[in-house]
Amino acid sequence: MSFQIRQNEEKRTIELNGHVGFDSLPDQLVSKSVAQGFSFNILCVGETGVGKSTLMNTLFNTTFENEEASHYGNKVHLHPQTYELQESNVNLKLTIVHTVGFGDQINREESFKPILEYIDTQFEKYLEEELKIKRSLFSCHDTRIHACLYFIAPSGHSLKSLDLVTMKKLDSKVNIIPVIAKADTVNRSELDKLKIKIMSELVSNGVQIYQFPTEDEAVAEINSSMNTHLPFAVVGSVENVKVGNKLVKARLYPWGSVQVENENHCDFVKLREMLVRVNMEDLREQTHARHYELYRRCKLEEMGFKDTDPDSKSFSLQETYEAKRKEFLTDLQRKEEEMRQMFVNKVKEAEAELKEKEKELHERFEQLKRMHQEEKKTLEEKRRNLEEEMNAFNRRKVAAETLMGQAVQGGSQPFKKDKDKKKFKMNFTKKDIHPCRTNIPFPFLSFCTVFMLCFIFLPFHIHFFYPFQSVFSHFIPLPVDLQIKQPEKPGMCLPSAWEKLPETVWT
């Protein structure tokens, strides 16, 4: 069965014959809305110390908890605070978002980015809740920004470049209501000129601020007149000052007082009327119907969803999903292939680097091996030379010991008479020792020669001669100064074993 729907079907109006009762729908809607409560979110943008917190306290006639901000922040932070307010039987969940550190940096080119990111994040949260299978849009807390109060400093005669850039970036995302803060620091004539200058700069730069609606006849007249007073010049104060016979909110000065709710002093009453008492619901509707729908449409178009034209084929969500899924899988495979190729290239580079290092290590090893072999050859040569020297020394030692043994055997025969012994006891001088100047017999000279050879070749064995001292004394009666002393320990060569000859011996 198919149904054909006729486009632009004519609507007919008929009359009722009696009371039905659906005229109570507005009352039902009001009762339901009151039972659910309302939410309203305000974004306060302005430099530190311009009076944002004071104005919020004055606007809602209470004191909100707020920490004093510093002028030395390195970037902009958004600090949201939510409060539960009740007036009569109406509950309002109010969220005030402060831009802490806005305009305090030296480089302020990107001061607006944290604000944009915060607004988009709230839209994203609402969109995620809307796209859920099991969603609860009526019970979830709506954190989308409904109104942006942009505070303009009264110093100067026009808008700063930071103000123009920020409002231009925000006008498509939020309802902007510009206000001149601390209007009591400017006189009335200068304030009127400043308002005209600000509005002309906003128009010339294409900044779209929130215009109070004039479609509803009930509020068309007041909204039209209030649009001409933009931007509002406001003064905030929570102090009650006695003026005349009544207490009013005002700021005291030496020259007088500025009453917050006096329309001749500032535009605070106009701002409160437009923002809270007349157009709060319109701000909520504009946020949902204009700014959020723009964000939602752009986001869905990025996801591949499109609206159907009257001449085009019907739109199928399943087909769109399948096409998008296929596109996603194709893109995923492409990225996987790119990652795999990148991994292979990285592995090849690492292997080439390792091979290069291995080659360097091998060359270094060969160099060290050659150096080791050269050092080994040098040490072997030195060892052979040392062994040859030791062998030569041992041969000389054996020859000397042989000669000494022969000399000892030849000199061990005792003399026949003691008088011959005494003949040879004498003191030697340089003259007596010289072989050409003495009459000593030749055998005695041979023995002395052997003795001197042993003395030359065996300097480290002084203790060897000690047992033969009694034998030598038969041939050479040595003086007491040349007697060999017995070493204190066996094998110890004492340099003091020989004493110097007296000076008279060699003279």
- For residue 258, which amino acid is it? V
Q: Residue-wise pLDDT tens for the chain (507 aa)?
A: 444 445 555 678 888 888 888 888 888 888 888 888 899 999 999 888 888 888 999 999 888 877 766 666 678 889 899 999 998 888 999 999 999 888 877 777 888 899 999 999 999 999 888 888 787 777 788 899 999 999 998 876 788 888 999 999 999 999 999 999 988 888 888 888 899 999 999 999 999 999 998 888 888 889 888 988 889 999 888 888 887 788 888 888 887 788 888 888 888 999 999 998 889 999 999 999 999 999 998 888 887 666 655 555 555 667 777 777 888 899 999 999 999 999 999 999 999 999 999 999 999 999 999 999 999 999 999 999 999 999 999 999 999 989 888 888 876 555 444 444 444 444 444 444 444 444 445 555 556 566 665 555 544 444 444 454 444 444 444 444 444 444 444 444 444 444 444 444 333
- Rounded CA separation 31/38 (Å): 12
Distance between CA atoms of residues 232 and 209, nearest Å: 13
**Residue 54 and residue 162: Cα distance in Å, rounded?**
23
Cα separation, 186 vs 194, in Å, equals: 10
Query: Domain segments of the chain: what residues?
Result: 23-303
Structure tokens at 360: 């360097």
Q: Are 471 and 455 in contact (CB under 8 A)?
A: no
3-state secondary structure 74-132: CCCEEEEEEEEEEECCEEEEEEEEEEECCCCCCCCCCCCHHHHHHHHHHHHHHHHHHCC
Question: Which residues sit opposite 86 in a β-bridge?
Answer: 91
CATH 3.40.50.300 fits 23-303, yes or no: yes
| Location of structure tokens 């050269």 | 374
**Could you give the 3-state DSSP secondary structure of residue 329?**
helix
CA angle 243, 247, 252 (to 5 degrees): 55
Distance, C-alpha 322 to centroid of its chain: 43
Please name which of 403, 486, 496 lies closest in space to residue 450, comparing C-alpha atoms.
Answer: 403
Helix (H, G, I), strand (E, B) or coil at 256: strand
What local confidence, expressed as pLDDT, does residue 88 receive? 87
Name the maximum alpha-carbon separation found in the chain.
187
Burial 63-77 (b: 16+ CB within 10 A, else e): eeebeebeeeeeebe
- Inter-residue contact 118 to 99 (CB < 8 Å): no
Single out the residue of 217, 147, 163, 158 nearest to residue 193, CA to CA.
158
Separation between Cα atoms, residue 201 and residue 207, nearest integer Å: 9
- Residues 160/112, Cβ–Cβ less than 8 Å: no
The string of DSSP codes covering 138-195 is TTS------EEEEEE-SSSSS--HHHHHHHHHHTTTS-EEEEES-GGGS-HHHHHHHH
Per-residue model confidence (pLDDT) at position 61: 87
From the list 144, 89, 87, the residue with the least C-alpha distance to 276 is: 87
Of 239, 189, 230, nearest in space to 210 by CA:
230
pTM of the model: 0.60
